[in-house]
Structure 1
């Protein structure tokens, strides 16, 4: 990561109120709001995304879970649209 990328990322986090600069230093600390956001995103990942992706990729389930059925239906619909439009797959 270059110093320019780091400056950009720190500026964006600071402008969104997720971090704040410690006065008279080159250091930052996480704000209360930033900590709440980080905890929410961590929990959302653990409870929703990780378990949902495991449902989609589990080859051992005999009856496909609703999420996998929805993903298959979505993929089928996209393939039909591509075929109808005459686009190369």
Structure 2
């Protein structure tokens, strides 16, 4: 599984801390976006879906498209 697939499944937030941190770094860099569904992390905190964050902000489709292009964003979104 790659980072986007871990994020989509929610597994990124339930595994050891370093994996979640790497996935969050990928989101912040615009390489990945949040999944379509929100999840709870290991500690019970809620991680929102990409549709729950404002367009253009970290984790959204638009943020990824702005950073790495629409083609990359479409490719990441298709991993659902």
Same fold (TM over 0.5): no
Instruction: Output the TM-score relative to the length of structure 2.
Output: 0.28
The structure whose residues are more often helix, as a share, is: 1
Normalising by structure 1, we get a TM-score of: 0.26
Q: Which structure is higher in RCO with an 8 Å CA cutoff and minimum separation 6?
A: 2
